[in-house]
Amino acid sequence: MKSFREELWIEVPSRRGFVNITADVARAVEQSGIREGFCLVNSMHITSSVYINDDEGGLFQDYEKWLEELAPHAPPSRYEHNRTGEDNADAHLKREILGREVVVAITAGRLDFGPWEQIFYAEFDGRRKKRVLVKIVGE
Amino acid sequence: MKSFREELWIEVPSRRGFVNITADVARAVEQSGIREGFCLVNSMHITSSVYINDDEGGLFQDYEKWLEELAPHAPPSRYEHNRTGEDNADAHLKREILGREVVVAITAGRLDFGPWEQIFYAEFDGRRKKRVLVKIVGE
Amino acid sequence: MKSFREELWIEVPSRRGFVNITADVARAVEQSGIREGFCLVNSMHITSSVYINDDEGGLFQDYEKWLEELAPHAPPSRYEHNRTGEDNADAHLKREILGREVVVAITAGRLDFGPWEQIFYAEFDGRRKKRVLVKIVGE
């Protein structure tokens, strides 16, 4: 059994944004030398997500609008969490919709994906450096 | 360490529908010969989900109604993604609620489940053949 | 390859509630003797969740209110599932928002976490004993 670990550092310059991290994860799989196994990719923060979907610009706008409808940012006073002095309660909620992590199969040394699957980091409380963990276990 | 891979092909004849795939996954676990490990089951498409919940007919109707309330299909023009000529933006959103994948423990050669856990494929943009990946890693 | 399995028993005295289970999972990782691998933590029930987020009291109130808005409990007659005599259809829906499971990397014998990550059990149909599965596979 082999294991491999890497942290990706990401800084989204605005409060919210989407970053395609597929190439970074694919590079980690290659470096790991692992041919068969699983690759876990998770946000190490609790106000951002890692998820798999389509790399299409209109869809990012749809996600942005939809998540803002489901868990609005304003007014910050609507959330108890923001009494701590934070204004990011909505980010904790939005992250639950898209999820913390993905697990991807590694087959023959590659991410075992359908034709349109791409891995994204979704930021809901940006403007600072944050980390994504890539952990690969297999043989 | 052993690994096993299988694709399940599923065609839902309508736009949306739910398919219980537990028996197919259990058969894959048996074929794999793996006694201890993890089984990943994920949709290889970005407009459908794999999730674990109850096999109860009323609940499928509740999911259908609820997901349609959270991310309505109509009118397609409400979504930017549909400017590409697609009409399935809602399917990309619905899939985020139920999720892409499940990871199930394998213990003593079987899916290590509570009494009511069943694995489902949820289709949100059907009427064509689609694939589910089953990847099992262990010993 | 080594594997380790443990069930955590949890009884939430009210219908809904949140329980921090991080210390229990960390103890299981230590007992397993596994240094590198993955740890799966999942609810064995279909009306509760395991998720990772912040251990902050106000946030639990925000989750409670938010999930009740997205999938209201009352009136039970609004759900087809409740025609079976149950009154927990909303619990099946709420659990889909927070999810069934988390997969956490094990690195150097410990849960490989960012600074604020904590594992929670979220109960949506409590007042009885329920189980969480911890399965660890690695070396």
pLDDT in tens, C1-35: 999 999 999 999 999 999 999 999 999 999 999 99
Confidence label for C119 from pLDDT (cuts 50, 70 and 90): very high
Q: Judge: B105–C38 Cβ closer than 8 Å, yes or no.
A: no
Give CA–CA dist C15/C18, Å, rounded. Answer: 11
Residues of A in contact with B51 (CB under 8 A): none
User: Which residues of chain A are modeled with pLDDT < 70?
Assistant: none
pLDDT tens readout for residues C79-92: 999 999 999 999 99
Given a contact cutoff of 8 angstroms between Cβ atoms, the answer to whether B24 and B90 are in contact is no
Q: Note the pLDDT of residue C18.
A: 98
Q: Judge: C59–A44 Cβ closer than 8 Å, yes or no.
A: no
Rg (CA), chain C: 16
Give CA–CA dist B33/B16, Å, rounded. Answer: 34
Whether A138 contacts chain B with CB within 8 A: yes
pLDDT tens readout for residues C53-74: 999 999 999 999 999 999 999 9
Q: Angle A93-A97-A103 (CA atoms, 0-180°, nearest 5)?
A: 125
Q: Note the pLDDT of residue C135.
A: 99
Q: Judge: A5–C107 Cβ closer than 8 Å, yes or no.
A: yes
Confidence label for B33 from pLDDT (cuts 50, 70 and 90): very high
Q: What proportion of chain B, given as a percentage, has pLDDT over 90?
A: 100
Give CA–CA dist B2/B139, Å, rounded. Answer: 5
Q: What proportion of chain C, given as a percentage, has pLDDT over 70?
A: 100
What average pLDDT does range C118-135 have in this prediction? 98
- Can you read off the two tokens belonging to residue B110? 């079987």
Considering chain C, what is the average pLDDT of its residues? 98
Q: Judge: A3–C51 Cβ closer than 8 Å, yes or no.
A: no
N-terminal to C-terminal alpha carbon distance within chain B: 5
Confidence label for B98 from pLDDT (cuts 50, 70 and 90): very high
Residues of C in contact with A3 (CB under 8 A): 36-37, 107, 138-139
Please report the number of interchain residue pairs, chain B to chain C, with beta-carbon separation below 8 angstroms.
90
What DSSP string describes C4-60?
EEEEEEEE-SSSSEEEE-HHHHHHHHHHHT--SEEEEEEESSSSEEEEEE---HHHH
Whether A44 contacts chain C with CB within 8 A: yes
Confidence label for B2 from pLDDT (cuts 50, 70 and 90): very high
For residue A26, the one-letter residue type is A
Whether A126 contacts chain B with CB within 8 A: no
N-terminal to C-terminal alpha carbon distance within chain A: 5
Residues of C in contact with B52 (CB under 8 A): 46, 100
Q: Note the pLDDT of residue B85.
A: 94
Predicted complex ipTM: 0.98
Confidence label for C43 from pLDDT (cuts 50, 70 and 90): very high
Q: Note the pLDDT of residue B11.
A: 98
Whether B51 contacts chain C with CB within 8 A: yes
Domains and CATH numbers, chain A: 2-138 (2.60.120.460)
C62–chain B nearest CA distance, Å: 19
